[in-house]
Structure 1
Amino acid sequence: LKMTYGSPESLEFTEEVTHIMAEEGWNVGLELAEEQGAAPIMEEEFTITPALLAKRPEMAADGIRVGDKVKGRVLLGRYSRYMQQFPEALRERIATKGVRFTHHSSIAPTGTISLSLGNNASNGIEPSFAHHYSRNVIREGKKSKEKVDVFSFELLAYRTLVNDKAMPFAEPGEGRLPDYFVDSSNIPARAHVDIQAAAQKWIDSSISKTINVPTDYPYEDFKDIYFYAYEKGLKGCTTFRFNPEAFQGVLVTEKDLESTTYRFTLEDGSTIEAKGNETIEYDGELHSAANLYDALKEGYYGKF
């Protein structure tokens, strides 16, 4: 689509997609209710309290008073702030007949999860962690995690359909990726928040995403991410900052590994240093320096 993640057109597109998915989903919920019956709570009666009436003054305008009993389908179809975004005809069908479910949409931070399906599933609202990076996986019988190269789905698709020589960080020329090929390492933190805010408008259940920030990200800017998320009305979000001194992590970029030095203390008290992406032979096996360091430090070496 040639849209840069977080750009105005990408925000508009994100909202449009989630809107269509939600509206079509509720229409299907109505069809399922006709076939198999509405959710039981749709016929359940709820007593109107002063607090509820204060939050929904339109109920009073419709003649509903404190102490009245109103069915769940009516509360959902006519008085849910979320449902009031949808066409009146759809809402009235829900209020009249009920729907098969009470909630339709939820978005999880599926950047890593999408890899588990053959790297052929959508990231949801997550950008790719990187277009070429390392994933640390547990192999039975191996004493530390194994470093495995991973390529993003969009890079593989681009190489197949457009340019088979394209690679991240390629020098200007035939292998250079277009500018809209961004990943979590070069997407501004606020763009993550903006994307979630665009999607969240049409998500009635839970939604969250991961905001990746560089290791050297200033604390004041980091702190402001949460204030900005609050201002945008986000239900929730989380941040990830690569910190090699604390934890190696599951997904690691080659740049982070190359720029991180690990120090190993030998039995005689001497130390050796190695870059995170260097290979070390230890205890009869080959390990990346980063994974060996993490396994020894965390105490899981040899326990897989």
Structure 2
Amino acid sequence: VHFTEEVSREMALAGWEMALSLAKEKGPAPIMSQEFTVTGEMLRKRPEMESDGYQVGDRIPGRLLHAKYSRYMQRVAEAAPELVAELAETGARFTHHSSIAPTGTISLSLANNASNGIEPSFAHRYSRNVIREGKKSKEKIDVYSFELLAYRELVNPNAQPGATNDAQRLPDYFIASDGVTPKEHVEVQAAAQKWVDSSISKTANVPTDFAYAKFKDIYLYAHEQGLKGCTTFRFNPEAFQGVLVKEQDLKNTIYKFTLEDGTVVEARGDEEIDYDGELHTAANLFDAIRDGYYGRL
């Protein structure tokens, strides 16, 4: 947790140093030069402005509001007072520096499924349900974590998640999202969030049989830690299997299909079913029919 906070702080400081450098080279963001009228609400929320002599109706440039009276920039000033003093004088090239999107969003798009830094991979091998043009249900795509692919390339090409034999077993340090407790998920986000001035998101994965009281406590603890938001994921096939699905969860889930003649057909979630001229996994076919989007994607 401490390491996460240190890394986030250094990234923030480097970013605001660049904001100052770019402002000196190209000029600050226009809003930094814009003047704003001091209101009573401003003084209530930032009593230090009144201590500095500001009164209702006074004018103040955006660069001062941003660098001196933003709670976030006040934290930055504790680590780099000279930097923030210059930002107050010159203005920054941009108004916001950092945002952390969910691993499944940014990592698959930009980084070959690498972790975004504040949460481990969802799993080292899992399925992602995607919409394909012309397909009547979602398609199951196998996904591998960046660290697994790198380990196979550099160390052991036969490595497999969950393997028990020495020839395929992964080292103990291969941790996935379900190897981190919900409390630890919250603490890591809280540590990183101190230095993130825009949005931040990570997911706390909880077991399917997680007790409601403990589930509720995750959100209470997140509130105590001052999190901007808290996201949890619990595999619940009765409601929705999710976009990201572990193979073991699919294998352990039985789906029941009732045919027109009343016959009930059972299939594991990962089994393929030939239906209506297409192959579907049982889980995706069940969801599509139950939720009414079969053939409408």
User: Do both share a fold (TM > 0.5)?
Assistant: yes
Paired position in structure 2 for 1:6: none
Give CA-to-partner distance per residue, 1:125-158, whole Å, 9 cap, x none: 2321111111222233333222221111111112
Paired position in structure 2 for 1:126: 119
Q: Which moved more, 1:94-103 or 1:284-293?
A: 284-293
Q: Which moved more, 1:255-264 or 1:79-88?
A: 79-88
Residues 193 and 229, structure 1, Cα contact 8 Å, conserved in 2: yes
- Structure 1 stretches of 5 or more lacking a match? 1-10
Paired position in structure 2 for 1:3: none
Residues 126 and 246, structure 2, Cα contact 8 Å, conserved in 1: yes
Which of 218, 221, 231 is matched with 1:225 structurally? 218
Which of 275, 281, 287 is matched with 1:282 structurally? 275
Residues 201 and 230, structure 2, Cα contact 8 Å, conserved in 1: yes
Give CA-to-partner distance per residue, 1:102-143, whole Å, 9 cap, x none: 221122223244223472555342321111111222233333
Paired position in structure 2 for 1:200: 193
Measured in 1, the distance between the counterparts of 2:83 and 2:263 equals 73
The 1:28–1:191 alpha-carbon spacing in structure 2 relative to 1, beyond 3 Å, is same
Q: Does 1:99 align with 2:92?
A: yes
**Identical amino acids, percent of aligned pairs:** 67
2:71 partner SS: coil
Which of 142, 145, 150 is matched with 1:152 structurally? 145
Q: Does 1:163 align with 2:153?
A: no
Which of 171, 179, 187 is matched with 2:172 structurally? 179
The 1:45–1:141 alpha-carbon spacing in structure 2 relative to 1, beyond 3 Å, is closer
What amino acid does structure 2 have at the position aligned with 1:71?
A: P
What amino acid does structure 2 have at the position aligned with 1:72?
A: G
Which of 96, 102, 111 is matched with 2:104 structurally? 111
Equivalenced residue count is 294
The 1:42–1:112 alpha-carbon spacing in structure 2 relative to 1, beyond 3 Å, is closer
The 1:48–1:185 alpha-carbon spacing in structure 2 relative to 1, beyond 3 Å, is same
The 1:155–1:70 alpha-carbon spacing in structure 2 relative to 1, beyond 3 Å, is same
Paired position in structure 1 for 2:130: 137
The 1:68–1:132 alpha-carbon spacing in structure 2 relative to 1, beyond 3 Å, is same
Give CA-to-partner distance per residue, 1:221-271, whole Å, 9 cap, x none: 110000000000001122121111112322111111111110111111111
1:182 Cα deviation after fit: 1.5
What amino acid does structure 1 have at the position aligned with 2:102?
A: P
Measured in 2, the distance between the counterparts of 1:285 and 1:191 equals 43
1:49 Cα deviation after fit: 4.0
TM-score scaled to structure 2, two decimals?
0.90
Paired position in structure 1 for 2:60: 70
Measured in 2, the distance between the counterparts of 1:57 and 1:136 equals 51
Which of 247, 257, 262 is matched with 2:240 structurally? 247
Which of 207, 214, 222 is matched with 2:207 structurally? 214
The 1:268–1:55 alpha-carbon spacing in structure 2 relative to 1, beyond 3 Å, is closer
The 1:277–1:69 alpha-carbon spacing in structure 2 relative to 1, beyond 3 Å, is same
1:44 Cα deviation after fit: 2.6
The 1:140–1:66 alpha-carbon spacing in structure 2 relative to 1, beyond 3 Å, is closer
1:111 partner SS: helix
1:70 Cα deviation after fit: 2.4
Residues 109 and 125, structure 1, Cα contact 8 Å, conserved in 2: no
Measured on the aligned residues, the alpha-carbon RMSD in Å equals 2.1
Give CA-to-partner distance per residue, 1:25-61, whole Å, 9 cap, x none: 1111112212221122222333444554454454455
TM-score scaled to structure 1, two decimals?
0.88
Paired position in structure 2 for 1:236: 229
Residues 212 and 240, structure 1, Cα contact 8 Å, conserved in 2: yes
1:63 Cα deviation after fit: 4.1
What amino acid does structure 2 have at the position aligned with 1:74?
A: L
Residues 134 and 252, structure 1, Cα contact 8 Å, conserved in 2: yes
Paired position in structure 1 for 2:256: 263
Measured in 2, the distance between the counterparts of 1:145 and 1:55 equals 49
The 1:79–1:299 alpha-carbon spacing in structure 2 relative to 1, beyond 3 Å, is closer
* Pairing 1:53-68 to 2, within 5 Å after superposition: 53-68=43-58
What amino acid does structure 2 have at the position aligned with 1:99?
A: A
Q: Which moved more, 1:260-269 or 1:124-133?
A: 124-133
1:277 Cα deviation after fit: 1.2
